[in-house]
Chains A and B, each alone.
Chain A
Amino acid sequence: MTTVAVVPVSPRRHEHPVPWKAMVRVTWLQRRSTLIGLLLVFVACAVAIVVGQAGTHATYASFVANGCVQNRFHVPCVTFANWFAENTDLFSAMVIALHVVPVVIGVFVGAPLLSRELESGTFRFTWTQGVSRSRSVVTTLVLLALFVAVATCVLGLLLNWFAHPFEVIGIESQWQSGLFDTTGPMLAAWTLFGLTLGTFLGALIGRTVAAMALTAAIVGGLLVASFVWLVARLEAIGALATNRLMPMGLNVGQLNVPGSQFNGPIGSWLVRAWFTGPGGKRLDAAAASNVIGRMYGAPANGKVGPSRWLSVHHYIYWVSYQPASRFWIFQIIAAAILIGMAALLAFATVRLVRRRA
C-alpha cells in the first residue's frame, strides 16, 4: 500500500459565501449562448416593428394633417383608413410572433433550466460547490427573469407604438384580446410566467422533453384562453355606462370594439350595449330587436334620425365602456396577477430544489 504523509485537518476560518457578482459570472458562463440567441430574436422583432411603424408613418402623417383625427368619415380620410386596413399584415404578424414569445421562453429557457441538470446529472456538480442550491437557483432565475422582462417590456411598448396609428384610425385597439396580452407590461408578465412555469415543471418532472411539452401546453393553452375569453371578462369589470353614444347600427349585447369605430373617444373600449324602455327598465334581446325594427320602419324615421326617434319614444341606448385612461390600470392589474403567479412558481421551484434529495 502507498504510504503518504498526512497532515492533520485543522479547523479553518469560515470564509465569506460566494458573492452575487461571482454568481452572475457563472450564470453568464453557463447561459451565454441562450442569452445571445434570445437577444438576437428580440432585436429581430424590434427591428421588424420599427420598420413596420416607419412604413405607416407617411400615411398616418397625411391622415393627421387632413384633420381626420377629428372627422374620420370624410372622403380623403376614408382613403387613408382603407390604406391602413389593407396594410395590417406585418402588424398582425408581429402580434402573433409576440404571442409566441412567452411559450418559446417557457419551453426553451425555463423548462430545460433545471430538468437538464437533473437529467444529465450535472446537479451533482452544481449543488456540491461552495454555494447553496437556493442561491444558485435564485441567481440564475432572477438574472434570466430580468433579462427577458426588460427585453419583452421594450418589445411590448414598441408594439404599443406600432399600434397607435391603427388605434386612432379605428382599425385596431390595444384593448382587444390579441393586443392586450402583447403590449406594454403584459408581454413581460406573460413571459415571466412562462419562464417560471417551465422552470418549476422542469424541477418537478426532471425530464426535459416532458417539461417542455407540458410548459408549451399550459402556457399556450392559457394564452389562447386569454385571447378567447379571459381578456373580455377582465375588461368588463367596472365598465362605465353612457347614453351619449349613438353607435352606427345600434348593436346590443356584447360589443368588444374600439370606441373610435362608433364615434366614441379614441382609445376607449366599448364593452356592452342595451336599451332601456320608458320606465327605465332594461329591455331583453327580443324587445331591443323590436325597438330597432320599429325605429327603422317608422315613416318619419328618415327625417328625425334614430336618436330623435328613440328620444321621442323614451327609449335610451346605453353603452358600457372602459375609458382610454384606464388602459394602463388594467394592464398593470393583469400584469401584477401574472407576475404574482410567476413569483409563487419561482418560490415553489426554490423550495422544490432545496428539498430534492
Chain B
Amino acid sequence: MNVVETSGLAKRYRRTWALRDCNLSVPAGRIVALVGPNGAGKTTLLHCAVGLCTATNGNITVLGDLGAGSLEALERVAFVAQDAPLHKYLSVRSMVAVARNLNPRFDQAQAEERLRGLEIPPDRKVGKLSGGQQAQLALTLALARDPDLLVLDEPLARLDPLARHDFMALVMAGVAASGFSVIFSSHVVSELERFADYLIVLANGRVQMVGDIDDLLTSHAVLSGPAEESDLVGEQFTVVQTRKATRHAEILVRTTGESRLPSGWESDDVSLEELVLAYLRDPSASMLPGPLATNELEVNEVAR
C-alpha cells in the first residue's frame, strides 16, 4: 500500500504554479524526508495530502485509495503544520480535550503520559509555552490520534538543536511503538540521514529525486582525478555535478554498475547532504521513475 500517491498533481495559486505534474508513490512503513529549497512546493504537497488544499490538476490519494481530506483520511492522517499552530489562549489541558473530542481514536492517557514526560504543565496556556514545547505539544496531540500516517511540515525549522533532537526522538518512539508512516518536510538537510529512510526532493514545484535513501546513496559516487580528464570520465557516467579546480576535478555521478576508472581517479561514497545539494543546484538533473519535463513556456503562459 502506498501512503501517498499522486498522479499529475498540480496546484496553482492565482498565477503561480506551486506544484506541477507531480507523480509520486510513497510506500507504507517509511520515514520520508521531503526536501527542497524555500518555495519548492513542499508545504503545498503536504497540504494537499492532508486535505488543506485542492489540486488544480491531477489527483492525490492517501493510505491506499482514500481521497486526501476525506473523512476517513482525516481520521487516519495526523498533521503537524509549520510553526505548530494551536489555540494559544487555551490551557494545555483544554487543548488536549479539544483534540480528544475531535478524534474518535484519540488516546488521552497516552497524551497525558507523554506531556508528563516532557514536563509540560497542563494548566499553562499554550501561548505561554516555549516554541519547542508548543511543537512537542502539537506532536503529542498528533501521536495520540493513533495515526496510520503522520505528516509533519517543517517540524524542525524553529527548534534549537536540543529541541530538534527531542522532537525527532518522540517521532521515532511513536514509529517504533505503532509502526505508522511519516512524511516530514525540511530544509535542514544535514540531519535527514539520522531519521529518514526515504527521500523526495522537490524543486520549482516538481519532483526532482525520489527513492530509498540507501539506494540513492549506493547509486551515486564522487569521482576525483585530474581536471584534464574529467570530460572523458564524465562520458562514461550520468553526471549530476562537476567541480573543477586548476588541476583537480570532482564529479558526482550516477553509477549504473561496475565501471572502470582511469588510473589516477578515485571513487568515494557520497553523503546524503552532498547528494541533495548537488541535485538542488542543478534543476535539470533528475532521478525519477518517470520522465521530467521542464516546459518553462507553459509556466510563462500562465503567468501572463
Contacts and interface: CB of A to CB of B under 8 A. Distances in A.
Please provide the 5 A-B residue pairs with the shortest distance between their CB atoms, ordered closest to farther: A7-B179, A124-B81, A129-B102, A121-B85, A357-B54
20 contacts: A1-B197, A1-B213, A5-B176, A7-B29, A9-B149, A11-B64, A15-B104, A16-B104, A18-B101, A29-B97, A121-B85, A122-B85, A124-B52, A124-B79, A124-B85, A127-B51, A129-B74, A130-B104, A131-B102, A132-B71
A4 B175 contact: yes
Q: Is the interface of A mostly helix, strand, loop or mixed?
A: loop
| Most B CB within 10 A of own CB, among A16, A129, A131 | A129
Given A9-B180, A355-B54, 9 more contacts: A17-B71, A23-B102, A25-B101, A33-B89, A124-B79, A124-B85, A127-B52, A129-B103, A129-B145
A7 B1 CA distance: 13
Contacts of A125: 81, 85-87, 138
Interface in A307-357: 355, 357
A17 B138 CA distance: 22
A26 interface: yes
A6 B51 contact: no
Interface string B57-99: 0000001100000011011111101010111111000100111
A14 to B, nearest CB: 5
A22 interface: yes
A12 B79 CA distance: 19
Nearest to B70: A132
Interface in B136-173: 138, 145, 148-149, 172
A130 B75 contact: yes
B304 interface: no
A302 B143 CA distance: 94
B21 interface: no
Interface in B1-52: 1, 3, 28-31, 47, 50-52
B55 to A, nearest CB: 9
A115 to B, nearest CB: 14
Contacts of A124: 47, 52, 79, 81, 85
B105 A15 contact: yes
Interface of B: 1, 3, 28-31, 47, 50-54, 63-64, 71-72, 74-79, 81, 83, 85-90, 94, 97-99, 101-106, 138, 145, 148-149, 172, 175-176, 178-181, 193-197, 213
A290 interface: no
B98 A18 contact: no
Contacts of B97: 25, 29
A128 interface: yes
Nearest to B84: A125
A243 interface: no
Contact of A9 (B28, B79, B83, B102): B28
A79 interface: no
Contacts of A130: 71, 74-75, 102-106, 145
Contacts of A26: 98, 101-102
Contacts of B101: 18, 22-23, 25-26, 29
Contact of B99 (A8, A16, A129): A129
B1 A6 contact: no
Nearest to A14: B72
B26 to A, nearest CB: 12
A18 B76 contact: no
Contacts of A92: none
A18 B90 contact: no
A318 to B, nearest CB: 62
Contacts of B195: 1-2
B52 A128 contact: yes
A62 interface: no
Nearest to B100: A22
Contacts of B193: 1
A30 B87 CA distance: 8
B197 A8 contact: no
Nearest to A17: B71
A102 to B, nearest CB: 25
Nearest to A23: B101
B75 A8 contact: no
Contacts of B29: 6-9
A2 B71 CA distance: 33
Contacts of B76: 12
A6 B64 contact: no
Nearest to B145: A130
A12 B81 contact: no
A9 B175 contact: no
B98 A29 contact: yes
A122 B102 CA distance: 14
Contacts of A254: none
Contact of B172 (A4, A14, A121): A4
Contacts of A129: 74, 99, 102-103, 145
Nearest to B72: A14
B79 A128 contact: yes
A121 B83 contact: yes
Given A128-B51, A129-B103, A30 B75 contact: no
Contacts of A5: 176, 179
Contacts of B30: 6
B179 A6 contact: yes
Contacts of A132: 71, 74
B197 A9 contact: no
A2 B172 contact: yes
A8 B176 CA distance: 12
A8 B50 contact: no
Nearest to B168: A2
A6 B177 CA distance: 9
Nearest to B51: A128
Interface in A238-288: none
A14 B54 CA distance: 23
A129 B194 CA distance: 29
A19 to B, nearest CB: 9
Contact of A131 (B74, B94, B149): B74
